[in-house]
C-alpha cells in the first residue's frame, strides 16, 4: 500500500514536523508514506467571495496535478463523514483488499478545498466540526493512519 497526504502550504513549525516525522518513521514498516506540499495561493486578509473561489481554484489545480488516475482520494472536509478509528482502520484494510493500493488524503488550505477536488475525491472524511489549522491536521491525520495500522495488527497502541 502507498499512502500520500497532499497538503496546501509549507509546514514551518518544527514541533509539527517532528511529530509527523515520528509517525512517518513508524508507518515505514506498514506502507510507503509521503507528504506532498503544494504552494498556497498568496491572498490578502479580506477577500470577496469570487476572490476566495479563485484562490481555492488555483490551489485545487495544484492539488489535482499531484493525483494520478488510479489513486483513491479522501478529501478532508468538515461536511465529510465522521469515522471512529476502528471504522477508519477497517476502511483502509478493505480498500487495500479490493485493489486500492494507492490512497491519497487531501488537506486544503485555509479557505478549504475547491469543488473540482471534492468532485475528484472518492470519499470525504471529517474529523469533527471543529476548525483545525491545516498544519495541525497533517499531524492528526498521520497519527490516525498509524493508529489504523496498529488496530489492524491488534496492537495495544490503540487502547
Long-range contacts, 93-97 (Cβ 8 Å, 24+):
93/152, 96/1
Phi, psi of 29 (to 5 degrees): -80, -10
Instruction: Give the single-character DSSP code of 12.
Output: -
Looking at residue 56, its pLDDT comes to 96
Query: Which residues make up each annotated binding site?
Result: 76, 108
User: Which residues contact residue 103 at a Cβ distance below 8 angstroms, ignoring those fewer than 6 apart?
Assistant: 1, 2, 3, 4, 71, 72, 73, 74, 92, 95
CATH number of 2-42+61-153: 3.40.1280.10
Euclidean distance between CA atoms 147 and 159, whole angstroms: 10
Please report the pLDDT score of residue 100 as a whole number: 95
Provide the pLDDT for residue 83. 96
- 75-100 CB burial, b ≥16 within 10 A, e <16: bbbeebeebeeeebbebbeebbeeeb
Q: What is the pLDDT of residue 130?
A: 85
Residue 37: predicted pLDDT = 97
pLDDT of residue 35: 97
What does the pLDDT profile of the chain (159 residues) look like in tens digits? Answer: 999 999 999 999 999 999 999 999 999 999 999 999 999 998 878 889 999 999 999 999 999 999 999 999 999 999 999 999 999 999 999 999 999 999 999 999 989 999 999 999 999 999 998 888 888 999 999 999 999 999 999 998 876
Q: Residue 65: in which H helix or E strand, if any?
A: none
Q: Which residues participate in the annotated binding site for S-adenosyl-L-methionine?
A: 76, 108
d(CA 35, CA 106): 10
Amino acid at each position: 500500500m502507498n499512502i500520500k497526504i497532499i497538503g496546501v502550504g509549507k509546514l514551518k513549525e518544527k514541533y509539527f514536523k517532528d511529530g509527523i516525522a515520528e509517525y512517518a518513521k513508524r508507518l515505514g514498516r506498514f506502507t510507503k508514506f509521503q507528504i506532498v506540499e503544494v504552494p498556497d495561493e498568496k491572498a490578502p486578509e479580506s477577500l470577496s467571495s469570487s476572490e476566495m473561489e479563485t484562490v481555492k481554484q488555483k490551489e485545487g489545480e495544484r492539488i489535482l496535478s499531484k493525483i494520478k488516475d488510479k489513486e483513491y482520494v479522501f478529501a478532508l472536509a468538515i461536511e465529510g463523514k465522521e469515522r471512529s478509528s476502528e471504522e477508519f482502520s477497517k476502511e483502509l484494510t478493505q480498500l487495500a483488499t479490493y485493489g486500492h493500493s494507492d490512497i491519497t488524503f487531501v488537506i486544503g488550505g485555509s479557505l478549504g478545498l475547491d469543488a473540482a477536488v471534492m468532485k475528484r475525491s472518492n470519499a470525504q472524511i471529517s474529523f469533527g466540526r471543529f476548525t483545525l489549522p491545516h498544519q495541525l491536521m497533517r499531524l492528526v491525520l498521520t497519527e490516525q493512519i498509524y493508529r489504523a495500522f496498529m488496530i489492524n495488527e491488534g496492537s495495544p497502541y490503540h487502547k
